[in-house]
Amino acid sequence: METNQSQAPAISVQGLEKSYKDLHVLRGVDFDVEPGTIFALLGSNGAGKTTIVKILSTLLKPDAGAAAVNGFDVATAPGNVRESISLTGQFAAVDEILTGRENLVLVAKLRHMKDPGTIADALLGRFSLTEAGPRKVSEYSGGMRRRLDIAMSLIGNPQVIFLDEPTTGLDPQARLEVWQAVKELAGQGTTVLLTTQHLDEAEHLADRIAILHGGRIIVNGTLAELKALLPPAKVEYVEKQPSLEDVFFAIVGDGGAGLGAAASE
C-alpha cells in the first residue's frame, strides 16, 4: 500500500474555494502540513474552519482548487484519503450507554481490528482512562469524554487526524487534559490538524499556526514567526513581548491584511 513519500506534506491544500449559495466562504486557501506535526487552523466562528476539515475528510467537495491527504487527492482517491484519516468533531461521538472500554472495543470491531480488547486497554492507558474504563460514559466529565473520543479516533492508526475544535465547551481543567492528549498524538508521529478559536490553544499546541480570515490564510508560520510580524517590543522598564492575541488583532483588525499578505507564504 502506498503511503506518503518521505518529504511529501501530510496535507496539501491549493487554491481551495467553496461557496454555500451566495456565501463565498473559502476564497483560495493554500497551506501544507508536514508529517508528524501539529498544525492549528485558527479563525473566528464562521471563518470556514469546519468547511476545510470537511473537504479534507472527503465529506464535502470543493468548488475549485486541490487538496491531498497522505499523498492522496481528495477528489480522485477519496477512499484512500478516508483510510488515512480520522475525524473528531466538536461534539463527541461516544455512546453514553456503553462504558469507555466498550466504546473502544466497538470501534475496534467495526474497523475489523484483531484483538479489540487489547487495543482498548492500551488506549485507555495511553489517555489516562484505565480506571474510568469500566464506567458508563454518561458518568464521565467533559474532558474524559473528549479524551475517549480522541482515543477512539486513533483505532486503526490513521496517519492524519483532524480535530475540529477539540476543546470548545470544555472547562479549563478539561482543556488542559485534552491538550495533553493532543501532544501525545503528535509525539507518536501522527499528523494533527486542529481547528480552534482559541489563540492560547494554538500557542500551546501547534508547531505551525495558520490564521483563516476573509476566506484565505492570511498568515502561516511558527509562533515565533507570527510574533516577529509585529514591530519589536518597546523597552521602557519592562519588555513586553506581543502575545499571539496581539498578533491576531494586529493582522485581522483594520488595515492588517497588507501585513498578513506580505508575510504569508
Ligand X SMILES: Nc1ncnc2c1ncn2[C@@H]1O[C@H](COP(=O)(O)OP(=O)(O)O)[C@@H](O)[C@H]1O
- Closer to Mg ion by CB, 129 or 217: give it: 217
User: What are the backbone dihedrals phi and psi of residue 19, each rounded to the nearest 5 degrees, phi first?
Assistant: -120, 145
For residue 51, the partner it binds in Mg ion, ligand X, none, with Cβ less than 5 to 8 A by kind, is ligand X
Q: Give the Cα separation of 224 and 243 in Å (integer).
A: 10
Sole binder of ligand X in the list 48, 62, 242, 256 (CB under 6 A): 48
- Angle between helices 116-126 and 142-153 in degrees, nearest 10: 130
Is residue 5 involved in binding ligand X (CB under 6 A)? no
Q: Which stretch binds ligand X (CB under 6 A): 41-49, 116-124, 179-187, 253-261?
A: 41-49
Sheet containing strand 160-164, edge to edge, reads 85-88, 160-164, 191-196, 38-42, 208-213, 216-221
∠ CA(185), CA(138), CA(113), 5° rounding? 45
Half-sphere exposure for 189 (CA within 13 Å, toward CB): 4
Letter string b/e over residues 186-216, b meaning 16 or more CB atoms within 10 A of that residue's CB: beeebbbbbbbbbbebbbbbbebbbbbbebb
User: Which residues, numbered 56-95, are part of the site for Mg ion (CB under 5 A)?
Assistant: none
50 sits near ligand X (criterion: CB under 6 A): yes
The set of cell numbers assigned to 16 is: 481551495
- Smallest separation (angstroms) from ligand X to the CB of 23: 6
The site string for Mg ion over 10-49 (x = CB under 5 A, - otherwise) reads ---------------------------------------x
Should residue 25 be labelled a site residue for ligand X when binding is judged by CB under 6 A? yes
CA–centroid distance for 199 within its chain: 14
Pick the piece of the chain touching ligand X (CB under 6 A) from 20-28, 78-86, 224-232, 249-257.
20-28
Q: Which of 50, 70, 159, 196 binds Mg ion (CB under 5 A)?
A: 50
Residue number with CB closer to ligand X (165 or 203)? 165
User: Toward ligand X, which CB reaches closer, 50 or 70?
Assistant: 50
Q: Return residues touching ligand X (CB under 6 A).
A: 20, 23, 25, 43, 45-51
Q: Return residues touching Mg ion (CB under 5 A).
A: 49-50
